[in-house]
Amino acid sequence: MSRWRNLAILCVVLAATRPALAQDYTLTETLQPGDCCQLKLSMKLTGEWRVQREDKIVGVPLQASATHEFPERILRLDDAGVPIKVARHYHQAQVVIKAGESSPNTRTVRDNRRLIVAQRCKEQFYTYSPDGSLGRDELETLEHFDTLALLGVLPAKAVKVGETWKLPSAIAQGLCSFEALVDHELTVKLEAVQGDQVRLSITGAANGINLGANVKLTVEASCVYDLKQQRLTAVTWKQKDVRDQGPASPATTMEATWTVQRTFLTEMPKEVHEFKLAKVPEGSEAPPAAFLQLHYRDPQGRFQLNYERDWHLAGQTDDHLILRLMDRGDWVAQATITAWTKAEAGKHLSADEFKETIADTPGWEPEQIRDDGEVRSAKGHWVYRVSALGDLDGLRVLQNFYLAAGPEGDQAAVTVTLREAQAQKLGNSDTKLVDGLDFPKP
């Protein structure tokens, strides 16, 4: 009898010490168009630009910080329930950048451009204001951590503590801010559950393309999911970047940390109410080209420019604005816009005088004239164009020269330089650029 009693006691002890079956957790978030949340983002960055100075590569220390705060209203969801189109009103949007010994450069957004639509369409991400064109600095200020992709970190099935899953490629591309994803090994893990708080980690490496440059990135991130609310409430995203030199950006190494706080709202904020969104295009298609144009105004007020986003700012002096046309990371052409000496009202440089000026361009030896004559301007300005194939400082190139003149004697020249093989990719992008050139009225 005692033997059976001892065996029974042993069974009880074993049962008491046996690990409990691991619990499954369903981490989902159900959203509907019209749902709103309040988002607060902050960022700290340190790093180094590597730039060419004379005959050597010089490291330029880089520091940056950012703060963004806005309500976000969902307009469209994809089939997986992930937001693909939202409306935001930025109460705060500020980026401060300090490079080397220069003074900090503070960027923000004009008050009449704080209503913003963020949208993903066919792996392309768009940010625009329905109230008018953004400046390049404003657009870059709004290029923060991609909150549309956040829900993509949640698993598509019930998971246990310790279980892992790989991020979908589209979500990895969005969270890493890549224009194109090469490959990635970003893995999510359910680390722990304490009360209603579920802690997830995201670790791994990713390779992609941004502004035509290759980027290698490593990530150590964490997320908090609230079981009671069934909401993803907080994210801390740490990444290390090694970026090669690109056609429109220097080589860079940097470390950045984004923190995201996400709170759901029971009432819709007036800033993203229906009557505020009357100008927003309906549907999930890519926004019309007019919404995506950027605006530039010469600091001295001599000209202004509405241009397509594929043209990236590459340099600026007192008299020149330099833009580079990019096509999926490839450098297509460079455009130099020069403020010309103002003539008397109703007058401008003659065609012959313009061609003489072109012939005197240092290092330029034209061989074949492709086009020569006046062209129609969308704004009614007088525009003369000379297109020629030739040699520029030992490099065979095609150059399109434009002179635009307004009725008050304002003048500006546009020189577009490219390899002949890139002429098909250029298409009519140069004529669109010239059409976007205008002169402030007196």
Exposed (0-12), middle (13-18) or buried (19+): which is 285, by Cβ within 10 Å?
Answer: exposed
Same domain, 322 and 187: no
Same domain, 267 and 302: no
Of 194, 197, 203, 193, nearest to 162 by C-alpha is 193
State residue 210's pLDDT score: 87
8 Cβ partners below 8 Å, 6+ apart? none
Percent of all residues in the chain with a pLDDT value above 70, rounded to a whole number: 95
**Could you write out the DSSP letters of every residue in 111-139?**
GGG-EEEEEEETTEEEEE-TTSPBPHHHH
Same domain, 324 and 264: no
Same domain, 256 and 389: no
State residue 79's pLDDT score: 87
Q: For residue 253, what is the domain's CATH number?
A: 2.30.230
Model confidence at 237: pLDDT above 70: yes
Number of domains observed in the structure of the chain: 2
CB atoms within 10 A of CB 186: 22
272 φ, ψ to 5°?
-120, 25
State residue 338's pLDDT score: 95
d(C-alpha 17, C-alpha 6), whole Å: 17
pLDDT band at 156 (very low <50, low <70, confident <90, very high): confident
pLDDT band at 442 (very low <50, low <70, confident <90, very high): low
Same domain, 216 and 355: no
Same domain, 204 and 56: yes
Beta bridge partners of 426: none
For the chain, how many helices (H) and strands (E)? 7, 24
Q: From 247, 277, 307, give the residue that closes a domain.
A: 277
Same domain, 388 and 251: no
Q: What residue type is assigned to position 300 of the chain?
A: Q
Model confidence at 6: pLDDT above 70: no
State residue 329's pLDDT score: 72
Which of 394 and 156 is assigned the larger pLDDT? 394
Phi-psi region of 23 (alpha: psi -120 to 50; beta: other; left: phi over 0): beta
The answer to which of 48-57, 86-95, 197-206, 393-402 has the lowest mean pLDDT is 48-57
State residue 21's pLDDT score: 52
State residue 122's pLDDT score: 82
Query: Which residue's entry shows tokens 């009432």?
Result: 267
Give the neighbor-by-neighbor strand order of the sheet with 437-438: 294-297, 304-307, 437-438
Of 321, 153, 156, 293, nearest to 237 by C-alpha is 153
Q: From 216, 242, 277, give the residue that closes a domain.
A: 277
The answer to which of 48-62, 82-96, 143-157 has the lowest mean pLDDT is 48-62
CB atoms within 10 A of CB 412: 24
Instruction: Tell me which H or E stretch contains 293.
Output: none
What angle (nearest 5°) sits at the alpha carbon of residue 386, between those of residues 381 and 389?
Answer: 155
Is residue 153 domain-resident?
yes
Is residue 27 domain-resident?
no
Model confidence at 13: pLDDT above 50: no
Same domain, 99 and 126: yes
Over residues 97-116, mean pLDDT: 94
Same domain, 307 and 273: no
Give the pTM.
0.87
The answer to which of 11-25, 136-150, 201-215, 350-364 has the lowest mean pLDDT is 11-25
Is residue 22 domain-resident?
no
Q: Residue 260 in contact with residue 39, Cβ under 8 Å?
A: yes
What angle (nearest 5°) sits at the alpha carbon of residue 206, between those of residues 74 and 197?
Answer: 50
pLDDT band at 101 (very low <50, low <70, confident <90, very high): confident
Model confidence at 2: pLDDT above 70: no
Model confidence at 98: pLDDT above 70: yes
Q: From 246, 277, 308, give the residue that closes a domain.
A: 277
Determine the structural domain holding residue 404 and report its residue range.
294-438
Model confidence at 15: pLDDT above 50: no
410 φ, ψ to 5°?
-65, 140
Of 96, 86, 93, nearest to 114 by C-alpha is 93
- Ranges assigned E (strand) in 173-247: 180-184, 187-194, 197-210, 213-226, 231-243
Is residue 306 domain-resident?
yes
Same domain, 57 and 204: yes
In residues, how long is the chain? 442
Model confidence at 428: pLDDT above 60: yes
Q: Residue 149 in contact with residue 82, Cβ under 8 Å?
A: yes
Same domain, 223 and 140: yes
Is residue 393 domain-resident?
yes
**Integer CA distances (angstroms), 266 to 77, 226, 247, 272, in order:** 19, 17, 46, 14
Q: For residue 320, what is the domain's CATH number?
A: 3.40.1000.10
Which of 58 and 239 is assigned the larger pLDDT? 239
Mean pLDDT of the chain: 90
Is residue 2 domain-resident?
no
Same domain, 85 and 179: yes
Helix, strand, coil content of the chain in percent (nearest 5): 15, 50, 35
Is residue 114 domain-resident?
yes
Interval 367-419: pLDDT, tens: 999 999 999 888 889 999 999 999 999 899 999 999 999 999 999 999 999 99
Q: What residue type is assigned to position 411 of the chain?
A: Q
Over residues 428-439, mean pLDDT: 95
Beta bridge partners of 411: 340, 405
Q: Please report which residue ranges of 194-267 form alpha helices under DSSP H.
A: none
Is residue 377 domain-resident?
yes
Handedness of CA 53, 59, 65, 71 (dihedral sign): positive
**Integer CA distances (angstroms), 213 to 57, 173, 183, 326, 330, in order:** 18, 15, 15, 11, 9
Q: What residue type is assigned to position 42 of the chain?
A: S
**Integer CA distances (angstroms), 290 to 84, 123, 133, 436, 439, in order:** 20, 20, 8, 11, 19
The answer to which of 69-73, 218-222, 277-281, 329-333 has the lowest mean pLDDT is 329-333
CB atoms within 10 A of CB 431: 20
